[in-house]
Amino acid sequence: MRAIVRRLREWRMIAWALISKRHPVDAHLIPIRRCNLACTYCNEFDDFSKPVPTEEMLRRVDRLADLGTSIITISGGEPLLHPDLDLIIRRIRERGLLAGMITNGYLLVPERIERLNRAGLDHLQISIDNVMPDDVSKKSLKVLDKKLQMLAQYALFHVNINSVLGSPVHNPSDALTVAKRAIELGLTSTVGILHDGGGQLQPLSPEQQSLFETIMSFGKGSYARLNAFQHDIARGRAHDWRCRAGSRYLYICENGLVHYCSQQRGYPGIPLAKYTRAHIEYEYDTRKGCAPHCTVSCVQQVAMLDNWRAPQKLEAFVPLLTESPARSKAEAAPAEPTL
């Protein structure tokens, strides 16, 4: 019954997005930058930041709800490190929004999963990079398989496992093993392609392309499967689409600033408290120079709702959106896919 209700809410979200283009569809909200892992390709974490105060997080949820946002996805860092994560999820649901979360899964135990059930979480995603941990990533199937079994047994929310392909991955065939295990446990499976520090394309090898097509053929039981654009990405081709970042998709960092996405932090860099519908309408019509070779899937999925209408007329006032001066050298390394 809960799954049926969730699916109805998803279809209502899609219908409203097709009717109206004046509200954000998905907002990624960061409650903490700190992570308990240190994957070498990721530029979205540190090992020292404190959690954003709970009252401030609740204000940000309310502001996004007031802007008409349909989905809030809690990300990080590692969101499970925030002490009041359940309260934040509960507020999202109280405001009538879909609640999602991206986590590395390390901190999940049956009791924690039950708490997420009670808070009302709708969707959870874990990216698994390899079968055995290595010097690139500890997010391995060996470590996380028991967590997946727990999720299959206890989670009342939808669980998606994202396998990964791209240049830093030592054993591309691991992605297929991960995807098969997810399906075996009754979870859904997607595949992500690693990008560089600007969110830009790292083309796949012929072997990886073959694996990619195989994994893409698995199951289609989630609206997150809106990923046909990845066929261009896998082949190194520019993709023709209209990026609606800053409008239909928002990325709100731990400092409360609105950015185009996790890989274009600094643009537009406006505080959420001051972000208005005028900003949303302006960015809706603004063409982003990084779009043709972008691999940030969450932004592309949201844009599919509007690619059929409203050609963009303005150019973003950003030099190719490649590097923010504020980024450190560590942030310039290849980054984790944001799904």
Mean pLDDT for the chain? 86
Question: What CATH number has the domain bearing residue 72?
Answer: 3.20.20
Label residue 166 exposed, middle or buried (CB < 10 Å: 0-12, 13-18, 19+): buried
pLDDT in the model for residue 317: 56
CA pair distance 26, 251, nearest whole angstrom:
9
CA pair distance 143, 141, nearest whole angstrom:
5
pLDDT digit string, tens, across residues 110-162 = 999 999 999 999 999 999 999 999 988 889 999 999 999 999 999 999 999 99
Would 37 be classed as within a structural domain?
Answer: yes
Would 339 be classed as within a structural domain?
Answer: no
Task: State the average pLDDT over residues 55-75.
Answer: 98
Handedness of CA 297, 107, 48, 130 (dihedral sign): negative
pLDDT in the model for residue 228: 64
Where in the sequence is the domain holding 283, given as residue range(s)? 2-332
- The percentage of the chain sitting over the pLDDT mark of 70, rounded to a whole number, equals 86
pLDDT in the model for residue 322: 39
Would 306 be classed as within a structural domain?
Answer: yes
- Is pLDDT at 275 greater than 50 in this prediction? yes
Would 161 be classed as within a structural domain?
Answer: yes
- Is pLDDT at 236 greater than 80 in this prediction? no
Type and span of the H or E element at 27: strand 26-29
Would 337 be classed as within a structural domain?
Answer: no
pLDDT in the model for residue 196: 54
CA pair distance 246, 249, nearest whole angstrom:
6
324: which 2 tokens? 């923010």
pLDDT in the model for residue 145: 98
- Is pLDDT at 339 greater than 60 in this prediction? no
161: which 2 tokens? 């496992």
103: which 2 tokens? 């986590």
pLDDT in the model for residue 240: 86
Which of 96-110, 236-250, 257-271 is the most confident on average?
96-110
Domain count, the chain: 1
Would 338 be classed as within a structural domain?
Answer: no
**Amino acid present at 106:** Y
Would 169 be classed as within a structural domain?
Answer: yes
How does strand 249-252 pair with strand 257-259?
antiparallel
pLDDT in the model for residue 35: 96
pLDDT in the model for residue 223: 44
- Is pLDDT at 335 greater than 50 in this prediction? no
pLDDT in the model for residue 167: 61
- Is pLDDT at 90 greater than 90 in this prediction? yes
Would 229 be classed as within a structural domain?
Answer: yes
pLDDT band at 329 (very low <50, low <70, confident <90, very high): very low
More confident residue, 60 or 237: 60
Task: State the average pLDDT over residues 11-40.
Answer: 95
- Is pLDDT at 201 greater than 80 in this prediction? no
pLDDT in the model for residue 162: 92
Lowest mean pLDDT among 146-155, 246-255, 257-266: 257-266
Task: Provide the greatest CA pair distance for the chain.
Answer: 50
pLDDT band at 212 (very low <50, low <70, confident <90, very high): confident
Handedness of CA 56, 61, 67, 69 (dihedral sign): positive
